[in-house]
Amino acid sequence: MRKFKFNDGGRGKHFPSKYKSDRTGDCSIRAIAIATKQDYLKVMSEQFWLGLEMGRMPNDDKVVEAYLKTKGFVKQKTLKNGSRKYTVKNFPKSDVVLRVCNHLVYVSSDTIHDIWDCSSSAVGVWYTKEGK
pLDDT digits (tens, 9 = 90+) for 90-124: 999 999 999 998 899 999 999 999 999 999 999 99
| Distance separating alpha carbons of residues 77 and 80, to the nearest angstrom | 10
72-88 mean pLDDT: 88
Q: Are strands 3-6 and 111-114 parallel, antiparallel or unpaired?
A: parallel
Residue extents of the structural domains in the chain: 3-129
| Distance separating alpha carbons of residues 28 and 71, to the nearest angstrom | 13
Q: What is the pLDDT of residue 82?
A: 80
Task: Kindly report the pTM of this predicted structure.
Answer: 0.93
